[in-house]
Amino acid sequence: MPLPKDSLVQCEIESLAYGGRGVAHVDGMAVFVAGGLPGDTVSARITRSKKRFAEGVAEAVLTPSIHRVEPLCAHFGTCGGCALQHLAYPEQLAQKNAQVAAALTRIGGVQDLVMDAPAGSPDIWGYRNKMEFAFEQREDGLHLGLREPTPEGSNRPGPVLDIDQCHLCAAWDVEIMVAVRQFCAATGVPAYNPATESGFWRHLVIRHAAAGEVMVHLITARDERKDNLIKDMAELFLQRFPELASFVHSTRVKRTTVAFGEKIVYSLGNAFVEERLARGEREVRYRLSPNAFFQTNTGGASELFGTVAEFCALSDTHVLLDLYCGTGAIGIYLAGEAGRVIGYEQSEEAVTKARESARLNGLTNCSFVSGSLEQGIPGFAGSGDQAVPDVVVVDPPRSGMHEKTAEALLALGAPRIVAVSCDPATLARDVKRLADRYHVTRVRAVDMFPHTHHIETVALLELRA
């Protein structure tokens, strides 16, 4: 029988669901409780009631979990950047690991699953190498910061919160962001409003690399009359912040609120920053442009890529196929152990950067191809003009592999597939798609995002005998 909406129930939180809500059972029904942590006994108000489950909000913690800790940030609970600062980190890792196992078992149909021990982030504070801040104009003026949590039941983003601290990034990121906020507010120029397509300021992206270089990327609406204003800001900030190696201004016309510049119109300083990852006794170097995707946790990226390398078990005679390769981060990391690396990525800009990074590392065994994978794998599946690769690495977007890509992998029949995913449910779905020819032999959860609900997973799939 459904639980009445707005009723109060007392329940013990058993685990965390993916997304960060606590899971409890009341009269045999699963109840997902926002604000509940594993081990808590809470009084929860039911906000939504369905035939098989209910959702609620913890109104009072009657008995706190032994895993509850004091959040470090004063903005916790108001800012949407973190969801789990009040849960001790070892328990965060254990719960995320359990979520991956549950998804692969229930959705993916994996039997007799044995998980590797999860890999935690080397740093749980100050680990982010890239921050995306949003502008917003309200009646009380211009705001720049992080967004508050999305209101329940709404697809609209929460309002922008003017933060003055964030413990997930470097202190200078917040210092620069506050200075940008003050500068932009003083101009009297309003922030962009996607509903009316008016206003100017849109996003601020700050990226810092292992070598200490910092790039500021300011994204605005298109208005050439304000170009001198941007140049004044750039010159002022490069003097004020000595660690600043690059200031880039780009414009965006599309209404979607994505921190991605469509056209670079001005830059001062370097056109890129260089990231470096340790790989044994050598360093792997990457040149990152303003819009380039790279893992936002440098230490965590070493853990993630190291796990991929371990699962690939490459030799210098192996051909590695790297699908959804982006700027080539994984393929370039592995190229020193492979005979040949072939990467596929839809974005021409990303492929250009992958080729540049390969040259930067002196690699001559890498090739990167720009093209969609929605119709299969060009040059491999069905064409017969390429040898079957020894290993395939597939790192698709959050939505998972395209159906045609999965079909092409089944037809290709590579001995090993190493799947990387940022969403346990879509990984499980992709594993199930490949189950006719492949079985899962190893899985490791890698936490790149402490204090958030996100988790990366690496799975090894081997061709059935």
Q: Residue 116's domain spans which residues?
A: 97-122+297-463
Band of pLDDT at residue 333, cut at 50, 70 and 90: very high
Q: Return phi, psi of residue 319, to 5°.
A: -100, 125
Domain co-membership, 155 together with 270: yes
Q: 182: annotated binding-site residue?
A: no
Mean per-residue pLDDT for 137-158? 86
CATH number reported for the structural domain that contains residue 29 in this entry: 2.40.50.140
Tell me the three-class secondary structure of 346-407, residue by residue.
CCHHHHHHHHHHHHHCCCCCEEEEECCCCCCCCCCCCCCCCCCCCEEEECCCCCCCCHHHHH
Mean per-residue pLDDT for 291-304? 93
Query: Is the model's pLDDT at 137 over the cut of 90?
Result: yes
For the segment 1-11, what is each residue's pLDDT rounded down to a tens digit? 788 898 999 99
- Per-residue tokens: 71: 């959040």
How many angstroms separate the CA atoms of 274 and 54, rounded? 48
Domain co-membership, 184 together with 165: yes
Q: Confirm whether 73 is domain-assigned.
A: no
Domain co-membership, 109 together with 149: no
Domain co-membership, 356 together with 420: yes
- Per-residue tokens: 404: 């045609």
Give the pLDDT confidence score for residue 371 in this predicted structure.
Answer: 85
Q: Confirm whether 140 is domain-assigned.
A: yes
Percentage of residues in the chain having pLDDT higher than 70: 97
According to DSSP, the residues that pair with 249 across neighbouring strands are 218, 266
Domain co-membership, 193 together with 341: no
Give the pLDDT confidence score for residue 169 in this predicted structure.
Answer: 94
Q: Which residues are catalytic?
A: 422
Domain co-membership, 257 together with 136: yes
Query: Is the model's pLDDT at 104 over the cut of 80?
Result: yes
Domain co-membership, 224 together with 338: no
Q: Which of 461, 443, 451 is nearest to 84 (CA)?
A: 451
Q: Confirm whether 253 is domain-assigned.
A: yes
Q: Confirm whether 252 is domain-assigned.
A: yes
Mean per-residue pLDDT for 193-200? 95
Lowest model confidence (mean pLDDT) among 102-111, 117-126, 375-384, 454-463: 375-384
Q: Confirm whether 261 is domain-assigned.
A: yes
Query: Is the model's pLDDT at 384 over the cut of 70?
Result: no
Domain co-membership, 250 together with 393: no
How many angstroms separate the CA atoms of 205 and 184, rounded? 15
CATH number reported for the structural domain that contains residue 449 in this entry: 3.40.50.150
8 Å CB contact between 99 and 19: no
8 Å CB contact between 226 and 189: yes
**pTM of the predicted model, to two decimals?**
0.92
Query: Is the model's pLDDT at 217 over the cut of 80?
Result: yes
For the segment 415-442, what is each residue's pLDDT rounded down to a tens digit? 999 999 999 999 999 999 999 999 999 9
Mean per-residue pLDDT for 89-100? 97
In the chain, what are the helix, strand and coil shares in percent, each to the nearest 5?
25, 35, 45
Domain co-membership, 111 together with 134: no
- Per-residue tokens: 227: 């170009």
Give the pLDDT confidence score for residue 380 in this predicted structure.
Answer: 66
More confident residue, 270 or 182: 182
Domain co-membership, 108 together with 198: no
Q: Confirm whether 185 is domain-assigned.
A: yes
For the segment 219-253, what is each residue's pLDDT rounded down to a tens digit? 999 999 999 999 999 999 999 998 899 999 999 99
Query: Is the model's pLDDT at 385 over the cut of 70?
Result: no
Band of pLDDT at residue 268, cut at 50, 70 and 90: very high
Give the pLDDT confidence score for residue 287 in this predicted structure.
Answer: 86
Calculate the alpha carbon distances from 36 to 10, 11, 25, 297 in Å: 12, 10, 13, 27
DSSP structure class, residue 210: T
Mean per-residue pLDDT for 13-29? 93
Q: What is the mean pLDDT of the chain?
A: 93
| Counted domains in the chain | 3
Q: 438: annotated binding-site residue?
A: no
Q: Confirm whether 240 is domain-assigned.
A: yes
Q: What's the one-letter identity of residue 243?
A: E
- How many of the other CB atoms lie within 10 Å of CB of 324? 19
Domain co-membership, 265 together with 311: no
CATH number reported for the structural domain that contains residue 188 in this entry: 2.40.50.1070
Question: Which of the listed residues 242, 275, 308 is the one where a domain comes to its end?
Answer: 275
Domain co-membership, 263 together with 384: no
Q: 192: annotated binding-site residue?
A: no
Q: 266: annotated binding-site residue?
A: no
Q: Confirm whether 75 is domain-assigned.
A: no
Give the pLDDT confidence score for residue 378 in this predicted structure.
Answer: 75
